[in-house]
Structure 1
Amino acid sequence: MSVQVENLEKNMAKLTIEVPAEELEKALEKAYQKQKKNISVPGFRKGKVPRAMVEKMYGPAVFYEDAVNSLVPEEYSKAAEESKLDIVSRPEINVEQIEKGKAFIFTATVAVKPEVTLGEYKGLEVAKADTTVTDEEVEAELKKEQEKNARTINVEDRPAADGDTVTLDFEGSVDGVPFDGGAGKDYPLTLGSHSFIPGFEEQLVGAALEEEKEVNVTFPEDYQAEELAGKAAVFKCTIHKIEAKELPALDDDFAKDVSEFDTLDEYKKEIKDNLTKKKEEQAKTEKENAVVDKAVENATMEIPEAMIDTQVENMVDDFARRIQSQGLSMEQYMQFTGATVDSLKEQMKPQAVKRIESRLVLEKVAEAENIQISDEKLDEELAKMAEMYKMELDKFKELVGEYEKEQMKKDLAVQEAVTLMADSAKEA
């Protein structure tokens, strides 16, 4: 394999990769062996047709596609390494020559890491965050804990009220005609949760058990089911069950039940200390984000579009994995939200650009400040990860390859660059 590199405009490069004819022949034979069991030709048993006969009948190009799919990933990987380019995008592949008995030639157009010119990145001025915790915030946190420890009671002596959870049957219609998805039986609904379309839950406040209640609503103009958007609907509802929360008293007994403290005052102090710590951590993150944003504003770079496209595609893949872990496929997500892959990519593009700019600037700062991560520092990080995954350090290290270790060192260097910039910043 040989590779020629042509530098293009806007941080792009084209690799012309030539694979010897012998390697192409091996790939064609491999493609034939893969496909022959499915090939039928009169006069031959299925799977026993000679390759020469297949190529004579269907043309020599019959195995080209499989051969290309087999050759390109491996040969591109070798060429990318040999080129010494810092490639930051997926390749755009074009076949230039494929012919039996000749060298296989293809090109790979890629984005290369752009050069960054740093501006000011130390001593930057950022706003000072307020980390004061008010009594109201402590009371709000206490109220959340009270809500978590509430017990649910059945209500039979009054109508439904805001905040109650009701179990109801409902059937909706538009112009007197029922519509798909408009009916439910024994459906649990918390009034005031805004789970249903605007106006629905409010009209159930005051409804009595087993009373048939007519609810009149209008679907929003941007409703996901286009055939219902903007239309008036009538729902016939019957509440079969009303449940309310009974809150515990906020006293010393409550503090003993939900914490390690004996008095409510001690528990409140603990809440305040935790909120202060949380605010301080949030302030640290906001400060770091602010200095990075300013350093990016002060820097200059030209990001190739292919690099952005690759980042967006990676973000979409990550998003798909996250929702899949929650039991939802991308197809279902698109159906429920009305989104498309293209609209999702467009939505993610600004964040993709920001991530790229931030990373490039921070890597350049680490380089300018000669931030080096020692093997000892890397071992500390590996030890933390091994503990997190509840594995022995030596066994965990066996699972981490050299490439992953280098990436971890880069990530640690970037984080040290952030710390350096934040520590030197002036808070106003």
Structure 2
Amino acid sequence: MKATWEKIEKNLGVLEVEVDAERVAAALDKAFQKVVKKANVPGFRKGKVPRPIFEARFGVESLYQDAIDILLPEVYSEAVEQTDIFPVDRPEVDIEQFEKGQAFKFKAKVIVKPEVKLGDYKGVEVPAANVEVSEDELNEELTRLQERHAELVVIDEEAAKQGDTVVIDFDGSVDGVPFEGGKAERYSLELGSNTFIPGFEDQVIGLATGDFKDVTVTFPETYQAEELANKEAVFKVKVHEIKRKELPALDDEFAKDVSEFDTLDEFKSDLKKQLADRKSKEAEAEREKVLVDKVGENAEVEIPEAMVQSEVQNMVRDFDNRLRAQGMNLDMFLGFSGQTVEDLKEQMKVDAEKRVRNNLVLEQIAKAENIDASEEEINKELQDMADAYKRSPEEIRNILAANGSLGSLREDVLLRKTIQFLIANAKEVAAEKSEEAAKPAAKKTTKKAAKSEPKAEEAAGAKTDEE
């Protein structure tokens, strides 16, 4: 087999391949063995028609497409390896010649991984880690723990206020006509959770136990039930019960209930260490993110749209997996949020492009610095996964190999080593200086992140809208 590669422009090129006639004949044989099982020829059972009779009746050309389907994937893969290119999308194939007794010739337009021109990646400024835990931070964590262990106490004499949980009946209608999902009895609603249609919870605040009220709201324009979108609805609401959180006292008994310590002082001392560890890990993760983003921005690379779309698909799949871990799925989320898959993909596109850019730049740095993932490091990663999943390293390796993910594991190890190299060669600066320099970019990044990272937990709130 002969294969040549010619670059046309940027990341696009033509792969020209010629396969000898012997392999064409072998592919035709395989195609015949496949087709003959279904061939219906008088006087012969299916699968028993002789090749000459089959070709005389149907023509050898009837085997060509099946033969091409058999031969093309394997010779394309060989040609890619032979020419040492890295395709990032399906090729656009043009069959130039395929005949019995002749060579198989085809051309394929291929989009390949782009070239990366590195900018500065050593001595890049990153914020120094600040792991000191202030008294305010410690008190905030203690308050969160109190909230988590609070008891809901029934309030009889007071009106409902923000943060209370009200047990209500509601019956909704549009133009006097009830609608599906608009009715419930003894439903527990936390006021301020924003789980109902905007404006609903605000109108329940101030009601007392036993009160009735007609709550008037307007469904959002993007509401999942199109027949209700932008419509005004009236909910007849009855308040059965009001519950308010009663925080436990911060004392030794509280410490015993929530920890292994006997006194509040001991618990606070341990909690402060935990917060410091958490801040250290968060600071390290933030430093890595800032560093990788800066190095990525310093490089020059033209990213093919196909790579961005592929990463978007990966992000959608990961998001779906996170939803499933919370008892939902992507279809449910889209229904509750009033979005489409295309809306979600568009939101993720900015982050997807950044991920692709950063990974390409990290790969190029690894090549420039001769960074590699050793078998010992791969084996350690497999052992860590085996420990986590209570399996043997060999089982994990076989599972990854069967899924085609063993190469991805090596890439992950390589990327982590490259980031460690960048951290070791970075320049630490005071957090104040780093934050001041990064303010405009940080605002821009935050806005994009908010737009492109839908949160799985939002679905839980949107879900109640339908109810």
TM-score scaled by length of structure 2: 0.77
Instruction: Specify the alignment match of 2:416 in structure 1.
Output: 415
Partner Cα separation in structure 1 for residue 163 and residue 217 of structure 2: 20
Instruction: Specify the alignment match of 1:376 in structure 2.
Output: 376
* Matching of residues 4-83 of structure 1 within 5 Å: 4-18=4-18, 20-33=23-36, 35=38, 68-83=68-83
Contact 2:223 2:337 in 1 (8 A): no
Instruction: Specify the alignment match of 1:285 in structure 2.
Output: 285
Instruction: Specify the alignment match of 2:109 in structure 1.
Output: 109
**CA separation of 1:28 and 1:396: change in aligned 2, threshold 3 A:** closer
Query: Is the aligned partner of 1:300 residue 2:303?
Result: no
* Matching of residues 22-421 of structure 1 within 5 Å: 22-33=25-36, 35=38, 68-97=68-97, 105-128=105-128, 130-156=130-156, 158-324=158-324, 326-397=326-397, 399=399, 401=401, 407-421=408-422
For residue 60 of structure 1, report the CA deviation from its aligned partner: 7.3
For residue 346 of structure 1, report the CA deviation from its aligned partner: 2.8
Partner Cα separation in structure 2 for residue 185 and residue 135 of structure 1: 44
For residue 63 of structure 1, report the CA deviation from its aligned partner: 6.5
> Where does structure 2 lack aligned partners over 5 or more consecutive residues?
431-467
Q: CA RMSD in A?
A: 3.5
**CA separation of 1:138 and 1:275: change in aligned 2, threshold 3 A:** same
> Where does structure 1 lack aligned partners over 5 or more consecutive residues?
none
For residue 359 of structure 1, report the CA deviation from its aligned partner: 1.4
For residue 273 of structure 1, report the CA deviation from its aligned partner: 1.7
Opposite residue 126 of structure 1, the aligned amino acid is: V
For residue 260 of structure 1, report the CA deviation from its aligned partner: 1.4
Aligned-partner SS, 1:184: strand
Contact 1:14 1:107 in 2 (8 A): yes
**Could you report, residue by residue, the CA deviation over 1:112-137 in whole angstroms, capped at 9, with x for unpaired residues?**
23222222111112344544322222
Contact 1:110 1:306 in 2 (8 A): no
Partner Cα separation in structure 2 for residue 158 and residue 13 of structure 1: 74
Opposite residue 182 of structure 1, the aligned amino acid is: G
For residue 91 of structure 1, report the CA deviation from its aligned partner: 3.2
**CA separation of 1:338 and 1:102: change in aligned 2, threshold 3 A:** farther
Instruction: Specify the alignment match of 2:441 in structure 1.
Output: none
Partner Cα separation in structure 1 for residue 173 and residue 97 of structure 2: 63
Instruction: Specify the alignment match of 2:462 in structure 1.
Output: none
For residue 322 of structure 1, report the CA deviation from its aligned partner: 4.2
Partner Cα separation in structure 1 for residue 232 and residue 43 of structure 2: 69
Q: Once the two structures are aligned, what percentage of the paired residues are identical?
A: 45
Partner Cα separation in structure 1 for residue 64 and residue 315 of structure 2: 33
For residue 73 of structure 1, report the CA deviation from its aligned partner: 3.4
Partner Cα separation in structure 1 for residue 293 and residue 26 of structure 2: 50
Partner Cα separation in structure 1 for residue 243 and residue 44 of structure 2: 73
Contact 2:97 2:105 in 1 (8 A): yes
**CA separation of 1:138 and 1:183: change in aligned 2, threshold 3 A:** same
For residue 194 of structure 1, report the CA deviation from its aligned partner: 1.0
Opposite residue 263 of structure 1, the aligned amino acid is: T
Partner Cα separation in structure 2 for residue 34 and residue 15 of structure 1: 35
Aligned-partner SS, 1:8: strand
Contact 2:28 2:64 in 1 (8 A): no
Partner Cα separation in structure 2 for residue 26 and residue 190 of structure 1: 70
Aligned-partner SS, 1:77: helix
Q: For structure 1, which segment, 252-261 or 83-92, has the greater mean C-alpha deviation from structure 2 after superposition?
A: 83-92
**CA separation of 1:333 and 1:194: change in aligned 2, threshold 3 A:** closer
**CA separation of 1:295 and 1:54: change in aligned 2, threshold 3 A:** same
Opposite residue 29 of structure 1, the aligned amino acid is: F
For residue 424 of structure 1, report the CA deviation from its aligned partner: 2.6
Partner Cα separation in structure 1 for residue 133 and residue 82 of structure 2: 57
**CA separation of 1:48 and 1:389: change in aligned 2, threshold 3 A:** closer
**CA separation of 1:100 and 1:226: change in aligned 2, threshold 3 A:** farther
| Count of aligned residue pairs for this structure pair | 424
**CA separation of 1:64 and 1:163: change in aligned 2, threshold 3 A:** farther
Aligned-partner SS, 1:276: helix
